[in-house]
Structure 1
Amino acid sequence: MDFYLKYKEKSISGRYLTNTHLERVLKELSPRFQKTILGQSVEGRPIYSVTFGTGTTKIFMWSQMHGNESTTTKALFDFFKFLDSNDSLAKAIAEACTLFIIPIVNPDGAAAYTRVNANQIDLNRDSVALTQPESQILRKVFQEFKPDFCFNLHDQRTIFGVGNLDKPATISFLAPSFNEACEYNECRLKAVRVILAMNTELQKYIPDQIGRFDDTFNLNCIGDYFQYSGVPTILFEAGHYQNDYEREETRKYIYIAYIAGLKSIISLKKEEVDLKEYLNIPQNKINFYDFIYKNVRLKGESLDIITKFASHYKEVLFEEKVYFEAEIVKIGDLERSFAHQIYDLEGGLYQDEFGNYPKPGGNIDFSVNINNIFVNGVLKK
């Protein structure tokens, strides 16, 4: 992976990424990039854009319209360093394309580490009403820039797996629908073509960990709205890679996807779209927990059973760092479910400070047979 490490923006890592981090990166960009303030968020933070290239094919990319979804933004910083290099593909992109990029659409949500903006509005459900200044800025760029392709950049939770496989959906793509019937027209097929190119490249690195996002049509969603408006739009969802809760591995694969996608767009060779190949990308399924504890003994006054239970991490912001706090979410039937970490407790007796039965919503410090201590969901070595 030397070709990635060469361009990685090493000053940025972790899940918490705000305008403060972005401004440091923008300050270091070469004159080949044009930097502009498009307007302000609800709380008055600047919304920045970066423009690169002089080509006729116009690509509009935006990230962090959900403030707590930062992986695709980190990958953009790496992508900037690649574009600023002497690599032959970077030069080809600069000559063929003009890239208009908004790294952080929702700087208030980024600062608070929330999905919504400062008015508690999900900007990805505001594409028709345009009630928020951030939504209005995004629409204005779309109307004035008149892109040929749109890249809609997001993160997805650790709950998503790839079809019925025991594999996390490390990256998921979607060519959004343009109507209720979820039909495919020429515009949508152009987006499919780019996804197929990215999927082919990524399968070399993360086989069976690429998913296809749900395509139920919702005109209030930005990707659906732009596809409906006649511009090929691609949804990127950065998800979980094994043991990578900081999303540093996933960041790398998103970076690879950016390059593979743009390489496909500028390629003179436009192969016929194989829709069947696209539909064969397994659809995302909500079938993962962060932890499953199986074969655990629960004992009470009228209860003595061997069962299993599951927990998820909550992401909690504290002093500009995101912490992961495990909480119990389900007890009992976990058939057809997977986990990023599975503990077989071999019939051991569950005990916590409140008794012998885990409680949904509770934090997850407990012991099994007294000697096996779990802190924040993890077995203490």
Structure 2
Amino acid sequence: MNYLFCFETYKENSLSGRYITLSKIEKLLQHFSIKNELTVLGYSVLQKPIYMYKVGSGKIKLLFWSQMHGNESTTTKALFDLFNFLESDTKEVLDWKKTFTFIFVPILNPDGAELYTRENANRVDLNRDFLQLSQPESQLLFQLFEEVKPDFCFNLHDQRTIFGAGKTNSPATVSFLAPSFNEERAINDVRQKAINLIAGIVEELQKYIPSQIGRFDDGYNRNCVGDTFQQLGVPTVLFEAGHFQNDYHREETRKWIFVSLLKAIDLLYENDIVDNKTDNYLKIPQNNVCFFDFVYRNVKINYENSKLITNFAVQFKEEIVGDDVIFIGYIASVGDLDDFFGHLEYDAQEELFKDDEGNFPINGKKANFSLGKNKVFVNGLLKK
């Protein structure tokens, strides 16, 4: 299968950017419901509907959910690209629909999606609520899990731009995890299936983004959904959509999530996850906090009436303005940044920092400043 051709052909062009809300997907879901089953599982804290979309009639049941964290929308876009593909009459799709029943929850946390927050309307992180099950959204997903009895689970998330793929200057564009089911991080038959599936996905991704694939930390947390479902005997794979160079709206990353999903389904269809691929899995570089959005090196500052040379970093914060997410840069760190990279780096060549308060970058301030006499930076970027 030509995965890149499939993406270009079936991409859902009406969805773009980072701010994906229930109102933006409901009409699309209603369109898809003409041929397939669309059900309201229940309602969020603020009484927004939480939808389940089902495709296919096969014995193998695959459960997917996205936007458990409301501000993590890249995988939701990729799901709608997948929905378009599953509407096609290609041989692969016809075979898949006979083999699998696909169960999707496109936005589990519609309140958080609207507010563009990680938490739900009660300020609870749903991915830390699978021991207490205190929230309606967590309860609905767990009830669906018990009712469906899936054979595989796909837990779809975004991760911040701070992560690199190991200790390199490559961002972790896509990261994976086969969650642990106990404190010892043991590998049983259930977790082995998740590990083997991830290894197969990564083998495909290495053809395209070989240095930009990461492995998420596998520390056990019973409060997390993936650890819980793995412990309950269902292989579960965590997908983390991360940063691609100059892709803050994550349209490029979306493509690699789509490719990953197609490859995962292909591997399951071919039953190509039987060999032990633990070594391959463990060779995937572990996610490492080693990035800022901007790093400025060799900057002259005025510190206690002395001129010093230092470095500083700027990190974007995502803020909602109208119907879109914008990125506002704030100074995040000053000093020795030898262990960090910037998605964009600037060598100040010992020119003097200056902003409206003086000659020293202050953490938490907006990134509007100058370097030397002529170089003006607005929101962290050099003004042309």
- Is 1:359 the equivalent of 2:362? yes
Q: CA deviation at 1:207?
A: 1.1
Q: Counterparts of 2:181 and 2:340 in 1: how far apart (Å)?
A: 32
- Is 1:147 the equivalent of 2:142? no
| Unaligned residue ranges in structure 2 (runs of 5+) | none
Among 61, 66, 87, which residue is 1:84 paired with?
87
Q: Counterparts of 2:238 and 2:272 in 1: how far apart (Å)?
A: 23
Q: Deviations over 1:167-187 (max 9, x none)?
A: 000000000000000010000
Q: CA deviation at 1:119?
A: 0.4
CA contact (8 A) 1:163 1:284 kept: yes
Q: CA deviation at 1:368?
A: 0.9
CA contact (8 A) 1:351 1:370 kept: no
- Per the alignment, residue 17 of structure 2 pairs with 14
- Is 1:184 the equivalent of 2:187? yes
Q: CA deviation at 1:336?
A: 1.5
CA contact (8 A) 1:61 1:150 kept: yes
Q: Counterparts of 2:69 and 2:235 in 1: how far apart (Å)?
A: 21
- Is 1:69 the equivalent of 2:85? no
Q: CA deviation at 1:363?
A: 0.5
Q: CA deviation at 1:301?
A: 4.8
- Is 1:336 the equivalent of 2:314? no
Q: Deviations over 1:244-266 (max 9, x none)?
A: 00000000100000000011111
Q: Counterparts of 2:221 and 2:113 in 1: how far apart (Å)?
A: 24
CA contact (8 A) 1:30 1:84 kept: no
Q: CA deviation at 1:270?
A: 4.4
- Per the alignment, residue 115 of structure 2 pairs with 112
CA contact (8 A) 2:200 2:273 kept: no
Q: CA deviation at 1:61?
A: 0.3
Output the amino acid matched with 2:254: R
Q: CA deviation at 1:335?
A: 1.3
- Per the alignment, residue 253 of structure 1 pairs with 256
Q: Counterparts of 1:70 and 1:371 in 2: how far apart (Å)?
A: 39
Q: Counterparts of 1:192 and 1:176 in 2: how far apart (Å)?
A: 9
Q: CA deviation at 1:277?
A: 0.8
Q: CA deviation at 1:29?
A: 1.4
Deviates more, 1:261-270 or 1:89-98: 261-270
Q: Deviations over 1:73-124 (max 9, x none)?
A: 0000000001111222222211110011000000000000000000000000
- Is 1:267 the equivalent of 2:306? no
Distance 1:343 1:269, change over 3 A: closer
Query: What RMSD, in angstroms, separates the aligned Cα atoms of the two structures?
Result: 1.0
CA contact (8 A) 2:193 2:274 kept: no
Output the amino acid matched with 2:295: I
Output the amino acid matched with 1:274: K
Q: CA deviation at 1:268?
A: 3.7
CA contact (8 A) 2:193 2:273 kept: no
Q: CA deviation at 1:302?
A: 2.1
Deviates more, 1:260-269 or 1:354-363: 260-269
- Is 1:197 the equivalent of 2:200? yes
Output the amino acid matched with 1:380: K
Deviates more, 1:22-31 or 1:177-186: 22-31
Match of 2:111, SS state, is: helix
- Is 1:32 the equivalent of 2:31? no
Match of 1:69, SS state, is: coil
TM-score (norm 1): 0.98
- Per the alignment, residue 49 of structure 1 pairs with 52
CA contact (8 A) 2:39 2:52 kept: yes
Q: Counterparts of 2:281 and 2:167 in 1: how far apart (Å)?
A: 17
Q: Deviations over 1:357-376 (max 9, x none)?
A: 01001101001112101000
Match of 1:293, SS state, is: strand
Q: How many positions carry a matched residue from both structures?
A: 381
Among 215, 220, 244, which residue is 1:217 paired with?
220
| Unaligned residue ranges in structure 1 (runs of 5+) | none
Match of 1:6, SS state, is: helix
